[in-house]
Structures are given as structure tokens and as C-alpha cells.
Amino acid sequence: MIENTRLDRVLATGRPEVGEIQRMRGAERVVSRIPITRDGRVVGAIGRVMFKGPQQVEALARHVNALQREVDFYRRKAAALRGDAVGSLDDIVGESAAIRRLKRDIAKVAPLDVPVLIHGESGTGKELVARALHALSPRRAAALVAVNGAALPASLVESELFGYAPGAFTGADRKGRKGRFEQAAGGTILLDEIGEMPPETQAKLLRVVQEGTVERVGGEAPLPVDFRLVSATHCDLKRMVAERRFRLDLFYRISPVVIEVPGLAERREDIPLLARHFLHELAQRHRRPEPELDPAAEALLRQADWPGNVRELRHAVERALIFAEGERLTPAAFPDVAAGPARPRPAAEPQGARLADSMAALEGTKIREAMQRNRGNKKRVAAELGISRTYLYKRLAEIDA
Ligand SMILES: Nc1ncnc2c1ncn2[C@@H]1O[C@H](COP(=O)(O)OP(=O)(O)OP(=O)(O)O)[C@@H](O)[C@H]1O
């Protein structure tokens, strides 16, 4: 028997009591008491503990709030991606001459149906450029379908890109499935990280690009497909062609127009603008008051090295915002940046070394340290360093070599 039960009250009044706090054996519980009626008469009452305490309700409410914020954020993002063409170009933040030139180039090339190759270091915004190209093209009402060359397992390449016919293999969908090229019908296909595609995939892509048809796995006739081809890479494809790691014929097909996306080091004047843009966006997303960036912090961000470019800057700002105390972000809010993720420390720099070599060496050390700290978990290492996983794999391969 619960010492202070109110079930007798519910029996007497016939009124339910939902979500009330009750002390039971020294602990607070959230309970509900519901009357049981038959033919309009109260014949009993049932009490249930809903939560083990108000803290549990609060935690749940906090969780629901956080999820709601995430949903709002992704809704806005989705709306922005679907949004009109102008909005898309506006998503590329920056006032530097390099960014203004980039936007001009995008606006010029977007309406034409030529293939475009977007080249730039990791994290420079190549995907944003691809989205803007699509949004400013006559194909904007159809889909933009992205395929990541680094993430496609060799065994799945064909069915993923070209789809499969009904009953093509055991376990396959009985109706068959469209591949990415068919999904992009009337729209744009983005072949991201195209430099990472293995030779067999390159050969298959070449056929699609040359002939404008795909053959579903297990299918009989080639199907015509209508897409605008946009490719993106951080690799030097010309060098890869010279080293026979990338097909020359495919290179020609994908790159009638090349758009170069500048790295952050070439447009430092955009750094404060980008930092404030992310502060604003992330403060909204995390429902935090938007702190100010103090001049010393701004100077720090401006002069820091950003091997992971805009993505890395965004991570640094997000970390600062989350751990911020007070209304101003000082350099102390950016401890990792202060440590200089890729800046050569004078003591560590060998005499006469080229700057690029010593930066690469320092970056290697940072990666090795982070790998140790995270026990080899590459996902976490990439997140911690603010670099893409592809870039991490590449650097690890070089470090191991
Ligand atoms: N000019 C910019 N303005 C606003 N946000 C940007 C800009 N450039 C990049 N970003 C943001 O930085 C992050 C990385 O950009 P994105 O994924 O487009 O880079 P990427 O060049 O495709 O990188 P990777 O080669 O590693 O795939 C994204 O969150 C993107 O929104």
C-alpha cells in the first residue's frame, strides 16, 4: 500500500490526475491516476508510475527540445536546398575577389548543359558550388543526385550507379531498382571525389558519359539517360592522368569547363565573415545566444592555417560556441586554433626546409597524435581535426608510405 495514495480521491471524484508528482518511499515519482467507469459509474481507479522522477521528465523534455531544434535546422536546410536559384548562390559566403569571381563563373556556366569539373582542396565548398550550378540551371526542377566516389564499394558500383533489372540476383528487389543516373533523369548528377574512383568504375562511367545510356545489372537493353554531369575532386587529375591513375578519355569528357574553388589561405579576408556566418547559423541551431567575436579572436582566426578550409573553420566555431562562457569569444575559446593545427613551430622546423614540407610534417604529427588519442577511430579523428575522412585516408596513406 502506498502511504499517501490519492486513488481514493480519484474514486470519489471520478476525475483523472495525470502527470502529478508523488513522494513514494522517500523518492519523487511522476504518476497518473485514472478512474475506471462502467455505465457512467466509477467502479475503480488505477494508478501508474510514468517516470521515476521529475528529472526524468525534464531530461525527456530537453531531449525532445533538442530534437525539435535539429528538425527545424534540417527543415530550413532542405528548404534552402530546394530554394530558388538566387538563394543558392547566396549560400556561398564570401566577399573576396576570389569568391566574387567564383560566383560569376558559376552564374555563367550554370545555364549551359556542359559538364563541369569542380576542383579545390578539401572543405572549400565544392558541394555548395555543385548545388548552385544545379539551382541556376534549367534542370533545377529535377533532382540533383550525388554519388561519392570514395564511398562506393567496388562490389556495389554497378547496381548503385546503373540499377538492376527485376530478378537480377537473389535478394534483389523484385521490381528491380533505378540506379543513380536514372534517378537524376532530367536533372544533375554530381560525381563527388571522382579522383577516388577505381579504374573499373572509370571505364563504366566513360561508357555512360559517351553513350548517354546505362545498362541495368541483369537488364537487356541499354536505357537512355538524360543528365547534366558535374564532377568534383581535390585531386590533381592531370597529374593522375600522367601517372596513368586516371583515364585521359574520361578526363576530357568530364572537364570541358573547370571551376577552381579557392582555398581559405587565398581569401583570408573572408574568414571573419565566414566565422560570423557560422556563429549566427550555429547559435540558432543550438538555441544559444549569439556571442560576439572579439577582435583578438578574429585576428587569430584570420592568421591561422586551415588545412581543412571552411569545414575546419566551421568546426572550430562550433566547438567555441558550445564551450563558450559569456557573450564574447576571445582567443581562449579557440584553444586548438591557438595551438596552430598546421602552423610550423619554430623549434620543430628543420633549417632550410620548405614551408610546405614543414607544414605537411606538422600535419602528419597532428594526425598521428589524434589517431593515438582516438585509438585509430578514423571517423572521430576526422571530426576532431575538422578534416574530411577522404583527406584523412589520403594523408594516412602518405604517412604510411
Ligand atoms: N563559401 C562558403 N560559405 C558558406 N559555407 C561554406 C562555404 N564553403 C564551405 N562551406 C561549408 O563548409 C563545409 C564543407 O563544404 P563542402 O562539403 O561543400 O566542401 P567540399 O569542398 O565538397 O569538401 P570535400 O572535398 O572534403 O568533400 C560545409 O558545411 C559547407 O556548407
Regarding an ipTM greater than 0.85, the answer is yes
Cell of 84: 530558388
Q: Is the CB of 259 under 6 A from ligand 1?
A: no
pLDDT for 320 equals 93
97-109 vs 126-135: helix crossing angle, rounded to 10: 40
Specify the residue with its C-alpha closest to ligand 1, atom 25: 122
Contact call for residues 345 and 359 (beta carbons, < 8 A): no
Cell of 47: 494508478
- Determine the atom of ligand 1 nearest the C-alpha atom of 388: 26
Nearest 5°: the CA angle 130, 255, 308 is 50
Q: Report the alpha-carbon distance of residue 55 to residue 30 in Å, rounded.
A: 10
Cell of 264: 581559405
- Determine the atom of ligand 1 nearest the C-alpha atom of 94: 1
Specify the residue with its C-alpha closest to ligand 1, atom 8: 125
54-82 vs 271-285: helix crossing angle, rounded to 10: 130
CB-count burial class (<10 Å; 0-12, 13-18, 19+) for 43: exposed
Ligand 1 centroid to Cα of residue 92, in Å, is 9
| C-alpha closest to that of 291 among 313, 254, 266, 318 | 318
pLDDT for 170 equals 64
Of residues 101 and 65, more confidence is placed in 101
Ligand 1 centroid to Cα of residue 100, in Å, is 16
Q: Is the CB of 383 under 6 A from ligand 1?
A: no
Q: Does residue 87 come out as left (phi exceeding 0), alpha (psi in the -120 to 50 range) or beta?
A: alpha
Q: Does residue 218 come out as left (phi exceeding 0), alpha (psi in the -120 to 50 range) or beta?
A: left
Q: What do you get for the CA distance between the two ends of the chain, in Å? A: 72
For the chain, list the domains and their CATH numbers: 7-52 (no CATH), 83-262 (3.40.50.300), 265-400 (1.10.8.60)
Ligand 1 centroid to Cα of residue 241, in Å, is 26
Longest CA–CA separation in the chain, Å: 95
Q: Report the alpha-carbon distance of residue 348 to residue 369 in Å, rounded.
A: 15
Under the banding of pLDDT at 50, 70 and 90, the label for residue 39 is confident
Under the banding of pLDDT at 50, 70 and 90, the label for residue 67 is confident
Residue 87 above 50 pLDDT?
no
Q: Is the CB of 318 under 6 A from ligand 1?
A: no
Question: Amino acid identity of 253?
Answer: R
* Strand ranges in 290-353 using DSSP code E only, listed in sequence order: 292-293, 328-329
User: 316 vs 121, 323, 324, CA distance in Å?
Assistant: 18, 11, 12
Ligand 1 centroid to Cα of residue 237, in Å, is 20
pLDDT for 357 equals 60
Ligand 1 centroid to Cα of residue 311, in Å, is 6
User: 50 vs 30, 61, 166, 206, 372, CA distance in Å?
Assistant: 6, 14, 49, 61, 44
The CB density around residue 26, as the number of other CB atoms within 10 Å, is 5
Under the banding of pLDDT at 50, 70 and 90, the label for residue 49 is confident
Q: Is the CB of 163 under 6 A from ligand 1?
A: no
Specify the residue with its C-alpha closest to ligand 1, atom 26: 122
pLDDT digits (tens, 9 = 90+) for 128-180: 999 999 999 999 999 999 999 888 877 788 889 999 888 766 665 667 889 99
DSSP classification of residue 217: B
Q: Is the CB of 309 under 6 A from ligand 1?
A: no
Q: Report the alpha-carbon distance of residue 314 to residue 310 in Å, rounded.
A: 6
Cell of 293: 567575436
Q: Is the CB of 119 under 6 A from ligand 1?
A: no
Q: Is the CB of 233 under 6 A from ligand 1?
A: no
Under the banding of pLDDT at 50, 70 and 90, the label for residue 73 is low
Nearest 5°: the CA angle 141, 145, 151 is 165
Return the CA Rg of the chain.
Answer: 28
